[in-house]
Amino acid sequence: MIELENVSYTYGDGALLSDVSVKLQPGSFHFLTGPSGAGKTTLLKLCYGALLPTSGRLSVFDEDIARLDRDQMALLRRRVGVVHQDCQFLDHMTLAENVALPLMVSGRAESEEQDNLTELLSWVGLGGRLDAHPPELSGGERQRAALARAVILSPDVVLADEPTGNVDWEMSQRLLRLLIELNRMGKTVLIATHDLSLIRAAKSQVQARVLRISQRKLHLAGADL
Amino acid sequence: MSNGDLRNLLRRDTRADRVVPPTGYTAHLTLFVSGAMAFLAVFALALSLASGRIADRWASELAGAATLRINAPAEQMAAQTETALTVLGQTPGVASARALTAEEQAALLSPWFGPDLPIETLPIPQLIEIVEGEPGLDTAGLRLRLGAEVPGAVLDDHTRWREPLVDAAMSLRRLGWVSILLIGGATAAMITLAANASLAANASIIAVLRQVGARDRFIAGAFVRRFTYRAFFGAFVGTMLGMTGVLLLPDPSDEGGFLTGVGFQGLGWVLPLLIPVLGAVVAFFATWTAARRKLKELS
């Protein structure tokens, strides 16, 4: 599904990732951890083509990402849902419009959009906030809305970058449950987080592989977590 | 760009168009520039059309006519005029020739001397108006014959001052069209700048759209439609104001000469209505080019 073979990423003179190899199988659940600035976000960005490897091979859905043109990249991104820590909403649009954005850009009919939207926002517990604008939402609501937007096209992979970074413990557990639920639906999930308590909480509910980035390298984390 | 792409780009999609924030200084800039340029284009077009009309009129009216001036002492004036008319009546290529009446000559002088000029008290030459016919006037031969038979006659076939006037009118017409082209170019440049500024200001929105799987065509389309419709609206308002301005110009009159003839006549009033459409076309291509370039830069 997503496979990195000896992938390195360099920005300017500094190497952010070096010789990273990992394979995310369909339906698997992964945590990506490491200290701030270790390269978690960089690795996630590589996985959905926001950055391209400086060297090595990265394939997503068996496509070498470096060989895709911009149109092909857009189609690939429709199969990869992404949740950012800062959510990245368009503030001039309502919550419903923001969540429906992937449907809109992929040219789905408005009626289909409405059905999916209502169902999805109820699933994340935001059924009553359709007309709210992003600045009016709490941190937890924003994260849940970002998750809804990430999965509205029913992607094969969900990548979440510090999804619980701005929310309290209760909300982080709620978000985790939603992500686990997605994994049970067959989605591959990769969560970048430095919150070890979240990983510990997840391990009792789902079989998760924990990857740790340190010294620009990726390691499989041990039982110390 | 295929016809299908073009249709998709121009088809109004209110949902897709919402992704570009509706406000920002580029919106006002586009509206103002396209409005002002359309206003100027209306006047350039009016000037160009009026110059064309004047050039055509002068060329056709003056080309088929000549004037014979008889400078003679008062006691010989009638005889020389009679002889000149006889010579002209026998000359091939002269369709008609007639001596201007005293009233007509007074009318010609009235712009300088006023309407009550006692012309009979002044040593004014007699003018004979000649209308050319087939096979055309041999002015050199006519001059020789008049020189022999009517010593005080001077033939003026208008070439001397007709050509510079027609040239001036044609130059004015060219100037008008060049102005319209420059206005179009300046509009394209300004809209390109505004589109670039808007795309740069909305780079974070473009990043979000790309992340959720938007193709460049979708993103460019949202900006292109926004700028095209703004340019059309601005140009429409500018054109209407320009046409109103032209409408309020004084009616053409002999006294006003060329200045009062600037404007549109008949079907000419339809031409300025094309300006908003052309403005929209210019905006479309300017924004499309800017968007494609900027999106490539941002990828």
Residue A47 CA to its chain's centroid (Å):
9
User: What integer pLDDT is reported at residue B274 of this predicted model?
Assistant: 94
CA angle A129, A132, A136 (to 5 degrees): 110
Computed over every residue of chain B, the mean pLDDT equals 86
Q: Could you tell me the CA-to-CA distances from B287 to A31, B5, B17, B207, B234 in Å, in that order? A: 43, 15, 14, 19, 16
Please answer yes or no on whether B212 and A90 come within 8 Å at the CB atom. no
The residue among B212, B294, B297 with the most chain A CBs within 10 A of its CB, best to mutate, is B212
CA angle B64, B70, B74 (to 5 degrees): 150
User: What integer pLDDT is reported at residue A223 of this predicted model?
Assistant: 47
Question: What percent of chain B stands above pLDDT 70?
Answer: 91
Residue that has been written with the tokens 């009626």 in this structure: A111
Residues A66-94, buried b or exposed e (16+ Cβ, 10 A)? eebeeeebbebbbbbbbbbbebbbbebbb
User: Each residue of B276-296: pLDDT tens digit?
Assistant: 999 999 999 999 999 999 899
ipTM of the complex: 0.87
Phi, psi of A15, rounded to the nearest 5 degrees: -85, 125
Tokens of B214: 């938007």
User: Each residue of A84-129: pLDDT tens digit?
Assistant: 888 889 999 999 999 999 988 888 776 766 777 888 888 888 888 8
Most confident of A31-40, B162-171, B260-269: A31-40
| Span of A74-88, A185-199, B92-106, B107-121 with lowest mean pLDDT | B107-121
3-class DSSP string for A56-81: EEEEECCEEHHHCCHHHHHHHHCCEE
Burial level of B4, CB count in 10 A (0-12/13-18/19+)?
exposed
Q: How confident is the model at residue A29 (pLDDT cuts 50, 70, 90)?
A: very high
Query: Looking at CA atoms only, how far is residue A199 from chain B in angstroms?
Result: 26
Q: Give the dihedral of Cα atoms A59, A64, A65, A67; nearest 10 deg.
A: 180
Q: Which residues in A lie closer than 8 A to residue B212 (C-beta atoms)?
A: 77-78, 101-102, 105, 149
Q: What is the mean pLDDT of residues B135-162?
A: 84
- N residues, chain B: 299
Tokens of A24: 């995310």
B256 pLDDT more than 60: no
- Closest residue in chain A to residue B13, using alpha carbons only: A104
Query: Looking at CA atoms only, how far is residue B289 from chain A in angstroms?
Result: 17
Please answer yes or no on whether B213 and A77 come within 8 Å at the CB atom. yes
Per the model's pLDDT, the better-predicted residue between A179 and B1 turns out to be A179
**Longest Cα–Cα distance in chain B:** 102
Computed over every residue of chain A, the mean pLDDT equals 88
Please answer yes or no on whether B15 and A97 come within 8 Å at the CB atom. yes
pTM of this structure = 0.75
Q: What is the mean pLDDT of residues A53-74?
A: 93
User: What integer pLDDT is reported at residue B117 of this predicted model?
Assistant: 73
User: What integer pLDDT is reported at residue B1 of this predicted model?
Assistant: 63
Q: Is residue B39 within 8 Å of residue B238, measured between CB atoms?
A: yes
**Helical residues (DSSP H) of chain B, grouped into ranges:** 3-10, 14-17, 25-63, 74-89, 102-113, 139-149, 159-201, 203-211, 216-247, 274-298
Instruction: Break chain B into its structural domains and give their ranges.
Output: 3-52+163-298, 72-151
Please answer yes or no on whether A74 and B208 come within 8 Å at the CB atom. no
Q: What is the mean pLDDT of residues B178-187?
A: 93
Of residues B299, B220, B204, the one with CA closest to residue A88: B204
Per the model's pLDDT, the better-predicted residue between B54 and B36 turns out to be B36
Tokens of B33: 């520039």
Hey, is the C-beta of A149 within 8 angstroms of any chain B C-beta?
A: yes
User: Each residue of B203-215: pLDDT tens digit?
Assistant: 889 999 999 999 9
Q: Is residue B276 within 8 Å of residue B38, measured between CB atoms?
A: yes
Q: How confident is the model at residue A14 (pLDDT cuts 50, 70, 90)?
A: confident
Please answer yes or no on whether B299 and A70 come within 8 Å at the CB atom. yes
User: What integer pLDDT is reported at residue B10 of this predicted model?
Assistant: 65
Query: Looking at CA atoms only, how far is residue A120 from chain B in angstroms?
Result: 16
User: What integer pLDDT is reported at residue B26 of this predicted model?
Assistant: 82
Q: How confident is the model at residue A41 (pLDDT cuts 50, 70, 90)?
A: very high
Instruction: Break chain A into its structural domains and give their ranges.
Output: 2-220
User: What integer pLDDT is reported at residue B271 of this predicted model?
Assistant: 93
Domain made up of A2-220: CATH architecture: 3-Layer(aba) Sandwich (3.40)
Please answer yes or no on whether A105 and B212 come within 8 Å at the CB atom. yes
Hey, is the C-beta of A121 within 8 angstroms of any chain B C-beta?
A: no
User: What integer pLDDT is reported at residue A224 of this predicted model?
Assistant: 47
Q: How confident is the model at residue B127 (pLDDT cuts 50, 70, 90)?
A: very high
Phi, psi of B44, rounded to the nearest 5 degrees: -65, -40
Q: Is residue A142 within 8 Å of residue A129, measured between CB atoms?
A: no
User: What integer pLDDT is reported at residue B173 of this predicted model?
Assistant: 87
Q: How confident is the model at residue B122 (pLDDT cuts 50, 70, 90)?
A: confident
User: Each residue of B44-82: pLDDT tens digit?
Assistant: 999 999 888 888 887 777 677 889 999 988 888 889 999
| Span of A123-132, B201-210, B214-223, B260-269 with lowest mean pLDDT | B260-269
User: Each residue of A126-160: pLDDT tens digit?
Assistant: 888 889 999 999 888 998 899 899 989 889 999 99
Hey, is the C-beta of A10 within 8 angstroms of any chain B C-beta?
A: no
User: What integer pLDDT is reported at residue A71 of this predicted model?
Assistant: 92
Please answer yes or no on whether B211 and A105 come within 8 Å at the CB atom. no
